[in-house]
Chains A and B, each alone.
Chain A
Amino acid sequence: MDSATVIALASICIAGISTSLGAIGPAIAEGRAVASALNSLAQQPDASSTITRTLFVGLAMIESTAIYCLVVSMILIFANPFWNHFIQVSTGK
């Protein structure tokens, strides 16, 4: 395998792995957060606005970890710095 193939292989594999592994944790956490929010909504319907707002903010915080993984894999696929560098070097010669 030449180095271009290695870079492409590694980038594609890591992109998939990072998104899939990075989605597991936030998915569990968001499920737990929504479940407990629904519980407290059922117990105290009066406090629904506060609960909903806190839930949204919390979900956004949790979700951002998944978004980081997505950003990393997107960069690896579409704007890979190593790949671009390799292309530059090979065409520069």
Chain B
Amino acid sequence: MSLSPDSIIFWQYGIFKLNATIVTTWILMLTLIISSKLISKKLSKNLERSGWQNLLEIIITMIEKQIEGVGLAEPHKYISFLGTLFLFIGLSSLCIIIPGYEPPTGSLSTTVALSLCVFVAVPYFGIKERGLGNYLSSYIQPTAIMLPFNIISEASRTLALSVRLFGNMMSGTMIVGILLTITPFLFPVVMTLMGLLTGMVQAYIFSILAGVYIAAAIRVKNKQTQKT
């Protein structure tokens, strides 16, 4: 039994491997990109609009509302990053209903890549919003003694973010695999339903946590401006 889709290898040349994780990731990416291109090609401002445009608008407004609720006042700045995270993780866990599909988020390499994106994006948005010196000074708040702890927390939350997503998705497929050997027919279906729910919740949580981290990197400035 394999722990992750990494072990399914389609093609290999030397050290370069083309495994199921990469292939499904690219298929999902292409699906997202092509479908959003096709939908946004013929957007209408009139009252008559296609069902697909309605769907896209519902998704976008929902994500914007959630980002705003986290504490980021201008959601359109961050929706390209946080929305992409949510849509990718959500779609990859939603596709469990396709037989023979293994979610790419069930591989540690994918989740580490995603959380490294968050790890880079937090200082990026922080510096962009507050300037380099102002952002770096947040590491020595409230005192300079807190500097190592702040750095440790930055690294550990990246680790936690990746392992949480990996553990949830991996355990979902794993439990279905184990139950298939014990109770073959009905129970795995129920657990797959459960996996759909946890997958969407994890997608939501991953992007919300990324939003919270970005908001925390930006927020201190607002407090200072309120004081002065």
A residues lining the B interface (CB < 8 Å): 49-50, 53, 56-57, 60-61, 63-64, 67-68, 70-71, 74-75, 78-79
Contact = CB atoms under 8 A, between A and B. Distances in A.
Contact of A74 (B170, B204, B212): B170
A74 B201 CA distance: 22
A74 B174 contact: yes
Interface of B: 1-3, 66, 69-70, 160, 163-164, 166-168, 170-171, 174, 201-202, 204-205, 208-209, 212
Contacts, number: 49
B168 A67 contact: yes
Contact of A71 (B1, B66, B163, B202): B163
B167 A71 contact: yes
What secondary structure prevails in chain A residues at the interface with B?
helix
A4 B77 CA distance: 56
B160 A78 contact: no
A56 B205 contact: yes
Centre residue among B160, B167, B201, B209 by max chain A CB count within 10 A: B167
Contacts of A53: 66, 69-70, 208
Given A57-B205, A60-B164, 14 more contacts: A50-B69, A53-B70, A56-B204, A56-B205, A57-B209, A63-B164, A64-B160, A64-B164, A70-B171, A71-B166, A71-B170, A74-B174, A75-B3, A78-B1
A79 B166 CA distance: 15
A71 to B, nearest CB: 5
B131 to A, nearest CB: 29
Contacts of B201: 56, 60
Closest 5 CB pairs of A and B: A67-B167, A60-B205, A64-B164, A79-B3, A71-B167
Centre residue among A56, A57, A61, A67 by max chain B CB count within 10 A: A67
Centre residue among A53, A56, A68, A71 by max chain B CB count within 10 A: A71
B63 to A, nearest CB: 13
A74 B164 contact: no
A50 B65 CA distance: 12
Contacts of B204: 56
Contacts of B168: 67
A33 to B, nearest CB: 14
A62 to B, nearest CB: 11
B99 to A, nearest CB: 22
A53 to B, nearest CB: 6
11 contacts: A57-B212, A61-B160, A64-B167, A67-B163, A67-B164, A67-B167, A67-B171, A68-B163, A68-B167, A71-B163, A71-B170
